[in-house]
Structure 1
Amino acid sequence: MTIRRLCGALRVRGAADLLLALLLGTGFAALPVLALLPGLWGFAAASAVTYAADEALHSRAPGFVRRLATLQLTRTLRFAVRTVMLLALATRLDAPDTVLVAALAVFSAHFALMTLYTAVHIAIRRRRVLPLVVRNIDMSALPVPERPPALLYRRSLRKLLHLDLPAHLGLLAALATGTWAAAWAGLALTAGVSAAALLALLAQYRRARRMPVRDEVFAEVNRQLAALRPEVALYFSFASVSRDFMYQVNMWIETLEQLGRRPVIILRERASFRYLSRTWIPVVCVPKADDLAELDLAGVRVVLYPGNAGKNVHMLRVAEAKHVFIGHGDSDKLASSNRVSKVYDEIWVAGRAGRDRYQRVRHAISDSSIVEVGRPQLSPIRTHAEHVPGPVPVVLYAPTWEGWSDDDCHTSLIPMGVTLVERLLTEDVRVVYKPHPLTGKRSAEAAEADRTIRALLRADNERRGAADAEAALAAVRPRLREIQTRLDELAGRHDGDDAEQLRASRPADRTGAAEWQDLRDEWHRLFREAHGPVRHTVVVRPLPTLYECFNQADILISDVSSVVADFVASLKPYVLTNARDLPDDEFRAAYTTAGGAYLLDRDCTRLTGILDSVRGVRTDPMAPDRRTLKEYVLGPDTPSSMERFDTAAAALAAKAAAEQVDARTELAA
């Protein structure tokens, strides 16, 4: 426990990183002692340890490096301390004055050149920041210079600081041998390479000055948008809060691609691009509100909003379009019946349950503004009849996060999550644990419960004998990485800046959809086979997907959230956690999805009985209630959700177009 607390305080992930941090501190503490003794070989060893530990921690524990920076122990300062201690050692070992003066001059010049290099690097980076970024739009006509070579541009400070190594090694070698040729060679090499690096970057700065100006960028983007003529826009802001919110956009991409109207995606944070899924839909990211107003979106008739974010007002002011809140899941949480939704022209819900939920917010949302469109995303979910059970039941535990406030906190992790998993491990089941992506963002208790559950599952896997599974996982990891790399390529993800993203943007190749799906199917198959039928699994990455976890599960245990509403589509049994131990009737009356659920008490005393009641299909007493609930929550099976969604979009677009014609006629009159 002490080690865990120390790791938390130092922002390191485990014992290995903690050892590196201690080595770094010990090495720096030893440098002044060994310089003053003097101890040449000890100093050389301590210096090597600080170099190696510093570099390793930058890769393995960036949180620890940032913690050092907040304490003013920046990397530049650490390099400067090492240099000063080396000069102190050279003085104590009676190095010639000419060597000491030259070394001081070279090291001073090196740090001065590093400062100039950083200033030029910042200037280039700022010039390459554009007012917008796009994807799947042809920007080949815009003369955007290439990004500077990675050798000069990426992690430049780390590389430039390490140019002091020749001088350090040369001076240490000279002190050891008593001949000073090595010192002169090392000092000359450090000074020469540092100056050459600065000159090379200055040449890149000249190229960066040829970046197109703001008006040129908007003119070209608007010209392309005029040619594309988008009619429906998906608008999203929130990625600046956390990258984990991007699932709210990604879940709607396939639905947008199947629309009968031409779509466009509008994002507000640059971080969104890194986590956006594959799509052929044109994408425009405009961080500033003033710049958003410069976009020519005259043809857009319908704007869809998957989240209630403050920046939505920047798009809501477009009076010519109709604005629709579609959300990112249908749940019994407050967010799914928020009074803020009154600002939209329409609210699209999955089924009758969504309509009734909004009607309970009295005097807020009119019934005529609510449209039932189903959940088009749920088509990949296999039903209970299609499910093939494994050798042991698979229990999917998918708790929600702690919410923005305690008033809307439905997570079971804090009050009963650890107890639940401990009880599950006494049953003959396999646990798939998939916490919400935002788990632990607000509550330290939730984060601690999450860590404890992962440790319990890891320990039980070891008890079950996980050697074969670990070997199987190790065998498929290279192929899984290859697939993920190719998926990233198909999604258009790269580590370039704004200018590079704009420069590389071209119309998407729609034929990539088949390869994308085949690769995802292969990834899931390899992942399942490697984990085997009895090994517990913790899912915290985008793959495997939530719906893939649904398809593998025999039963779901979750909290009040949209996960449950989506799982209803499978008609499989599910359990809702009743962490406050409300009476069953009161709990079912408060939460719609509880109508087809088994209810689990805080102490999990009902767990064994619930599992026994669903181990056989014929002994599942809640099955009829789930069939009734499915239509109430998700709408009828026919017409399909996609058809209803497309019909709603077409009707609203036609209404917006008619209103614009009427407005122009009235203005002309």
Structure 2
Amino acid sequence: MTFRWLCGVLRVRGKTDLLLVFLFAAGFAALPVFALLPSLWGFAAASAVTYAVDEVLHTRAPAFVRRLAALQLTRTMRFAVRTVMLLALAERMGAPEAVLVAALAVFSVHFGMVIMYTAVHHAIRRRRTLSVVVRNLDMSGAGIQQSPPALLYRRFLRKLLHLDVPAHAGLLAALAAGAWQSAGIGFALTAGLAVAAVAALLGQLRRARRMPPDAEVIAELNRQLAGYRPEVALYFSFASVSRDFMYQVNMWIETLEQLDRRPLIILRERASFRYLGRTSIPVVCVPKADDVAQLELPELRVVLYPGNAGKNVHMLRVAEAKHVFIGHGDSDKLASSNRVSKVYDEIWVAGRAGRDRYQRVRHAISDSAIVEVGRPQLSSIRLHADHVPGPVPTVLYAPTWEGWSDDDCHTSLIPMGVPLVEKLLAENVRVLYKPHPLTGKRSRVAAEADRAVRELLRADNERRDARDAQEAEAAIAAARPRLAEIQARLGELSGRLTGDDAQQVRDARIPVRDGEAEWHELRAEWHRLFWQSRGPVRHQVILKQLPTLYECFDQADVLVSDVSSVVADFVASLKPYVLTNANDLPDEDFRAAYTTAGGAYLLDRACTRLPEILDSVRAPGRDPMAPERRVLKEYVLGPDRPTSMERFNTAVNVLAEKATAEQAERLGEGEVQRVVVGA
């Protein structure tokens, strides 16, 4: 418990990171001690430790570094402390006054250049911040200037502060030798390099001043959109861009690419591009509402909204288009039958269950506004009949997050997550743990439970691998280079561009479709290699985009989850699943309240039913909820024929034609009015 508490407080992930934090703290604590003793070699060793560990922590434990910054122990402050301690050491060891004055002057110049460089860098960034970010449209005609060289522009503070190393090393060498030439060389290198860096960046500032104004960039974007003539737009905004919320968009990309009509993706937060998946669809990010109004989309007929957000109103103003809430999965949460949905022309749900859900707000939502379109994303999910079990049952535990308020809190992590996983481990099953991306965002208790579950799985892996630990680690290590190579190539094929926003817009081009087959082959190879290297019995904590949720579905024999869209999607597999009943409602009441509970095994808060449930799904032919799941699948997700993709495409076409007809009618009425007024 103390270990987990320490990791939570310090924002580190494990023993190695915790050891690095202790080394970091010990190194800085030792600096004043060795400076005052004085001990040259002790100081040199402590200084080297602080330099090295500081860099490693930036890579391994960025959350700890951010915690230091919140306590005003920024990187710049840490460098300043090291410099002050060095000057104290030099004074205690009797360095000549001239050397001390020169050292103070050089370090002052160095920090002055750091301040000036930072100011110039910020000026360049402001000039290179465009009103739009674009992908998959040819923006070469916008006249955007080339980004400054990465050496000068990226991670500049880290590089610039480290220019003090020659001065530090030179002064330490001079103190050791008792001759001061090395100090002079080090001082000259530090001051000269700092001044040269500022001069080089000032040259880049001159180029940044030639950046085109926002009006010209938007004009070029509108010219490109006029050539593409988008008819359908997926519009997405979400306030929490610090987490991967783009799954709400990514799940719809392949569906959009198969439409008969030309699609466009409109995003509102710049950070969204970080998580956007591969697509050949033009993507436009427009952070400001005023700039959204500048987009010229005369042929746009249907706008699709995967989420309810305040910024949706900036697009809802487009009267020529029909506006549709498609959501990001059907669930029994209140968000899936929200009164806010009344602002849309239509609400598209997967099946009859979604339509019935909106009866909760029957006075707000008209039944005629609801269209059943299925879930096109689920076509690739492997059915229960095609699943090959492993040597031990695989349980996918995918709890939802704690919600924006206690009224919307459905997560099982807080009341029962830790005992649930402990009892799963006692049942000798393999656990795949995939928490919601926002887990712990609002609740510290949820974050602590999440860390505790991860630690339980890590410890049980160590116990299971006690005999074959070296072999298991060797398999993972052997697969790691190829996995990294595949991910790098997937990044290239995804259309993700390097550089700042302006550079990405400058480099944006219309994509070629040649890499589509390679993309799917590499994704399949990545998943195959990942699961093979992990083996059939090791627990896995799944936090990144790969492996995907649906790949985890294919690996699992049974799902344990909360009231969420994950359950509705899992129903497509016809595999057994368990819903957590953390409030211990009577079974009849729970099934009446939540549609997806109709085909579920219900798990009480104390998890006393868990062994019985696992026995039911382990033995062939015993699974008593199988008939209920078959009925529920069609109720929740709609019929198998016509396919979801066909129904979704038809719904888009019908609504687009309706919007076109209404616009023609309005134009006709306007022409009649003009004739009457003219007469």
Q: TM-score range by the shorter chain?
A: over 0.9
Aligned counterpart, 2:381: 381
1:160 is aligned to 2:163: no
Q: CA deviation at 1:304?
A: 0.2
CA distance in 2, matches of 1:393, 1:15: 30
Q: Secondary structure at the residue paired with 2:246?
A: helix
Q: What's the % identity of the aligned pairs? A: 77
Q: CA deviation at 1:20?
A: 3.0
Q: Secondary structure at the residue paired with 1:379?
A: helix
**Is the CA contact (8 Å cut-off) linking 2:241 and 2:272 kept in structure 1?**
no
Aligned counterpart, 1:347: 347
CA RMSD of aligned residues (A): 1.6
CA distance in 2, matches of 1:653, 1:227: 19
1:545 is aligned to 2:548: yes
Q: CA deviation at 1:529?
A: 1.2
Q: How does 1:356-371 map to 2 (within 5 A)?
A: 356-371=356-371
CA distance in 2, matches of 1:371, 1:38: 79
276-285 or 44-53, larger mean C-alpha shift? 44-53
C-alpha change, 1:191 and 1:409, in structure 2 (3 Å) is same
1:594 is aligned to 2:577: no
C-alpha change, 1:77 and 1:602, in structure 2 (3 Å) is closer
**Is the CA contact (8 Å cut-off) linking 1:240 and 1:269 kept in structure 2?**
no
C-alpha change, 1:374 and 1:419, in structure 2 (3 Å) is same
CA distance in 1, matches of 2:96, 2:273: 57
Q: CA deviation at 1:81?
A: 2.5
**Is the CA contact (8 Å cut-off) linking 1:127 and 1:211 kept in structure 2?**
yes
Aligned counterpart, 1:613: 616
Q: Secondary structure at the residue paired with 2:380?
A: coil
CA distance in 1, matches of 2:37, 2:449: 50
Q: CA deviation at 1:54?
A: 2.3
CA distance in 1, matches of 2:425, 2:115: 57
C-alpha change, 1:512 and 1:613, in structure 2 (3 Å) is same
Q: Secondary structure at the residue paired with 1:360?
A: helix
1:219 is aligned to 2:219: yes
CA distance in 2, matches of 1:485, 1:244: 19
Aligned counterpart, 1:114: 114
Q: CA deviation at 1:366?
A: 0.4
Aligned counterpart, 1:5: 5
> What is the letter of the counterpart of residue 291 of structure 1?
D
Q: CA deviation at 1:104?
A: 2.1
Aligned counterpart, 2:68: 68
1:522 is aligned to 2:522: no
C-alpha change, 1:452 and 1:33, in structure 2 (3 Å) is closer
Aligned counterpart, 1:556: 559
1:294 is aligned to 2:291: no
C-alpha change, 1:72 and 1:488, in structure 2 (3 Å) is same
Q: How does 1:28-43 map to 2 (within 5 A)?
A: 28-43=28-43
Q: Secondary structure at the residue paired with 2:426?
A: coil
Q: CA deviation at 1:388?
A: 2.0
73-82 or 434-443, larger mean C-alpha shift? 73-82
3-12 or 150-159, larger mean C-alpha shift? 3-12
Aligned counterpart, 1:272: 272
C-alpha change, 1:527 and 1:34, in structure 2 (3 Å) is closer
Give CA deviations for 1:506-537 in whole Å, capped at 9, x if unaligned: 11122222111111110111112112222222
Q: CA deviation at 1:2?
A: 2.7
**Is the CA contact (8 Å cut-off) linking 1:134 and 1:502 kept in structure 2?**
yes
198-207 or 262-271, larger mean C-alpha shift? 198-207
CA distance in 2, matches of 1:496, 1:414: 41
Aligned counterpart, 1:645: 648
Q: CA deviation at 1:597?
A: 1.3
Q: CA deviation at 1:369?
A: 0.4
> What is the letter of the counterpart of residue 551 of structure 1?
D
1:169 is aligned to 2:169: yes
Q: CA deviation at 1:428?
A: 4.1
> What is the letter of the counterpart of residue 457 of structure 2?
L
Q: Secondary structure at the residue paired with 1:620?
A: coil
> What is the letter of the counterpart of residue 476 of structure 1?
A
C-alpha change, 1:33 and 1:300, in structure 2 (3 Å) is same
563-572 or 257-266, larger mean C-alpha shift? 563-572
CA distance in 2, matches of 1:353, 1:570: 17
Q: Which runs of 5+ in 2 are unaligned?
A: 673-679
CA distance in 1, matches of 2:392, 2:81: 60
C-alpha change, 1:385 and 1:61, in structure 2 (3 Å) is closer
Aligned counterpart, 1:127: 127
Q: Secondary structure at the residue paired with 1:303?
A: strand
Give CA deviations for 1:415-464 in whole Å, capped at 9, x if unaligned: 22222222222224322222222212122222222222222222222222
C-alpha change, 1:608 and 1:178, in structure 2 (3 Å) is closer
Aligned counterpart, 2:402: 402
CA distance in 2, matches of 1:257, 1:48: 54
Aligned counterpart, 1:249: 249
Q: CA deviation at 1:541?
A: 1.5
CA distance in 2, matches of 1:655, 1:168: 73
Q: Which runs of 5+ in 1 are unaligned?
A: none
Count of matched residue pairs: 669
CA distance in 1, matches of 2:246, 2:458: 29
Q: CA deviation at 1:612?
A: 2.0
C-alpha change, 1:584 and 1:92, in structure 2 (3 Å) is closer
Q: CA deviation at 1:62?
A: 2.1
CA distance in 1, matches of 2:578, 2:12: 36
Aligned counterpart, 2:17: 17
C-alpha change, 1:210 and 1:17, in structure 2 (3 Å) is same
**Is the CA contact (8 Å cut-off) linking 1:274 and 1:494 kept in structure 2?**
no
Q: CA deviation at 1:239?
A: 5.7
**Is the CA contact (8 Å cut-off) linking 2:241 and 2:269 kept in structure 1?**
no
Aligned counterpart, 2:483: 480
Q: CA deviation at 1:31?
A: 2.9
**Is the CA contact (8 Å cut-off) linking 1:234 and 1:265 kept in structure 2?**
yes
> What is the letter of the counterpart of residue 419 of structure 2?
T
C-alpha change, 1:308 and 1:38, in structure 2 (3 Å) is same
- Deviating 4+ runs (over 4 angstroms): none
Q: CA deviation at 1:617?
A: 3.8
Give CA deviations for 1:242-295 in whole Å, capped at 9, x if unaligned: 432110000000000000110000000111111100000000000010111111
C-alpha change, 1:51 and 1:533, in structure 2 (3 Å) is closer
Aligned counterpart, 2:422: 422
> What is the letter of the counterpart of residue 171 of structure 1?
L
**Is the CA contact (8 Å cut-off) linking 2:241 and 2:271 kept in structure 1?**
no
Q: CA deviation at 1:229?
A: 0.3
Q: CA deviation at 1:391?
A: 2.6
TM-score by length of 1: 0.97
TM-score by length of 2: 0.96
Aligned counterpart, 1:460: 460
CA distance in 2, matches of 1:85, 1:72: 18
358-367 or 456-465, larger mean C-alpha shift? 456-465
CA distance in 2, matches of 1:27, 1:435: 37
1:531 is aligned to 2:534: yes
**Is the CA contact (8 Å cut-off) linking 1:17 and 1:60 kept in structure 2?**
yes
C-alpha change, 1:94 and 1:555, in structure 2 (3 Å) is closer
199-208 or 534-543, larger mean C-alpha shift? 534-543
CA distance in 2, matches of 1:76, 1:425: 46
CA distance in 1, matches of 2:94, 2:558: 76
Q: How does 1:226-245 map to 2 (within 5 A)?
A: 226-238=226-238, 240-245=240-245
C-alpha change, 1:78 and 1:654, in structure 2 (3 Å) is same
CA distance in 1, matches of 2:36, 2:164: 22
CA distance in 2, matches of 1:17, 1:464: 24
C-alpha change, 1:109 and 1:459, in structure 2 (3 Å) is closer
Q: How does 1:559-574 map to 2 (within 5 A)?
A: 559-574=562-577
591-600 or 298-307, larger mean C-alpha shift? 591-600
Aligned counterpart, 2:675: none
CA distance in 2, matches of 1:209, 1:169: 39
Q: CA deviation at 1:305?
A: 0.2
418-427 or 295-304, larger mean C-alpha shift? 418-427
